[in-house]
Chains A and B, each alone.
Chain A
Amino acid sequence: MLLVNTLLTNHDTWLHFQHCPDISMVTRKHNKASSYSRRVCRATSTYTHTRTHILISQLRTLLLIFGPSSSFNRTTPVYMSRDTSELTTTGFTVKAAMKNYRVVGPPPTGAFQERPAKPTTFRKFYDRGDLPIYLVHGTRPTITWKVDIETLDYNHYLPLFFDGLSETAHPYAFLARQGAEDLLDHGGDKILPVIPQLIIPIRNALNTRNHQVMCTTMKVLQHLVKSGDKVGEALVPYFRQILHIFDLFKDKKSKSSGVVRSHLQKPENIRELIPETLELLERTGGNDAFVHIKIMVPTYQSCVAYSP
């Protein structure tokens, strides 16, 4: 055990250094009435520590005391310049009642934070060339179908295109949206049996919390509801899976709520799209629709006048 005692006097203060293999204890006996000592523990040396390392650590300690930041005229201990603002704690704890602690609020939940979408099967299929569409660049981009839509298997392709609604990159986002709308336009009776398979892609797209993706998904949802007579009623059991996002963003103020894609298009305002979509779901969902919407969006007011 190496013991080094150094006595330094400065304005009637003594500094004792004790260097032990495991800890270095720096104590200072102040000349004032209230004397105190603190221990600064550093996990530094061990028994195998070399002389060089010991000298370096001593020099560091000396620098701490006599370095540029030190002040010999200070009455408070040098090593004790403890910034109390660093001591923080959460509320409703024992530490919160203590003098030296600052109570900070709870951490943000990230409810509105955008979440990156997982890689979609739509992208994989399009890159492989399995989708019967391709992009035509002209005066405005359009999609061309390699086969007649009415001959397609909707059980396979419609969920695939809905899965692509989570995409934000070009051309996937455009292809998914336009393709889904074309399929819904020409589907007819084929759409109703596929509704259960569309819920998970719709939920995943809404859960990204991306404004553009959410606006696109809501417009496609409106199109889906209008595509057939019974589609609105078929969606009612799945409201609890897709409407929780509507409740989150219904009253959220956002600078980016008006997303403008071009100067000719109306800005997509999510705060206008949400009530519009909910009203459409209620109108086409039958008698039980309002109750199910109200469970998920408690602040929603009915737009349908019920006659007794």
Chain B
Amino acid sequence: MPSTTDNNSKPKSMKRAKEWTAEVENLFRFQQAGYRDELEYLQFKHGVMIEKWPETGFVKKLQRRDNTFYHFSRRRECRDCDLHKVVVYGY
């Protein structure tokens, strides 16, 4: 993932996830909430701290663009059937 100092960075490439990892799980959660990835979320929220589960490192809570909340559990939520829907962006 590129550093967050570049606020105008846009992805140059994209590919679909083939196997599950912790990064894919977090990407799934961001995309569920309507964002590309963590970078876009930070751009939208202007540097707010992202809450994560201490045990697993997965995202705990995200705020959508309509100011509603998505709460995620500490367990894996991205099923194998949802893997192909997760987009991994390259910068």
Contact = CB atoms under 8 A, between A and B. Distances in A.
Interface of A: 134, 138-140, 142, 144-149, 181-182, 185-186, 264
Interface in B59-82: 60-61, 64, 68-71, 73-74, 79, 81-82
B18 interface: no
6 closest residue pairs by CB, A with B:
A145-B69, A144-B68, A182-B71, A185-B73, A146-B68, A149-B71
Nearest to A264: B81
Nearest to B73: A185
A264 B79 CA distance: 9
A185 B81 contact: no
A186 B69 contact: no
A62 B78 CA distance: 81
Nearest to A184: B73
19 contacts: A134-B68, A138-B32, A139-B82, A142-B32, A142-B70, A144-B69, A145-B70, A146-B68, A148-B69, A149-B61, A149-B71, A181-B73, A182-B73, A185-B71, A185-B73, A185-B74, A186-B60, A186-B71, A264-B79
A186 B60 CA distance: 9
Chain B: number of interface residues, binned into ranges: 10 to 19
Contacts of A185: 71, 73-74
A147 B64 CA distance: 11
B45 interface: no
Contacts of A147: 69
Interface in B30-85: 32, 60-61, 64, 68-71, 73-74, 79, 81-82, 85
Nearest to A179: B71
Contacts of B69: 144-149
B20 to A, nearest CB: 15
A149 to B, nearest CB: 5
A255 B74 CA distance: 34
Contacts of A186: 60-61, 71
Contacts of A144: 64, 68-70
A140 B68 contact: no
B7 to A, nearest CB: 26
A145 B85 contact: no
Nearest to A149: B71
Given A149-B71, A185-B73, A139 B85 contact: yes
Nearest to A181: B73
A233 to B, nearest CB: 22
B72 to A, nearest CB: 8
A140 B79 CA distance: 11
Contacts of B32: 138, 142
A181 B73 CA distance: 8
A164 B55 CA distance: 30
Most buried by B among A138, A140, A181: A140
A107 B60 CA distance: 54
A139 B81 CA distance: 11
B67 to A, nearest CB: 8
A306 to B, nearest CB: 29
A235 B42 CA distance: 42
Contacts of A140: 82
Contacts of B61: 148-149, 186
A70 B81 CA distance: 73
A65 to B, nearest CB: 76
B81 to A, nearest CB: 6
A123 B81 CA distance: 32
Contact of B71 (A138, A145, A264): A145
Contacts of B74: 185
